[in-house]
Amino acid sequence: MQKSLHIDPLKCTGCLQCEMACSYEHEGVFNPSKSRIKVFTFHEAGRFAPYTCTQCDEAWCLHACPVNAITLDAATGAKVVSDNQCVGCKVCTIACPFGTINYNHVTGKVIKCDLCGGDPKCASACPTDAITYIDADWTGLDRMRASAERSLSGAAAS
The per-residue pLDDT of the chain, averaged, comes to 90
Q: What is the pLDDT of residues 87-110, one digit of tens each?
A: 999 999 999 999 999 999 999 999
Residue 125: pLDDT band with limits 50, 70, 90:
very high
Per-residue model confidence (pLDDT) at position 151: 61
Domain locations in the chain as residue ranges: 3-52+113-157
The answer to whether the beta carbons of residues 55 and 75 sit under 8 Å apart is: no
CATH code, 3-52+113-157 = 3.30.70
Q: CB neighbours (10 Å) of residue 79?
A: 25
pLDDT at 152 over 90: no
Considering the entire predicted model, what is its pTM?
0.83
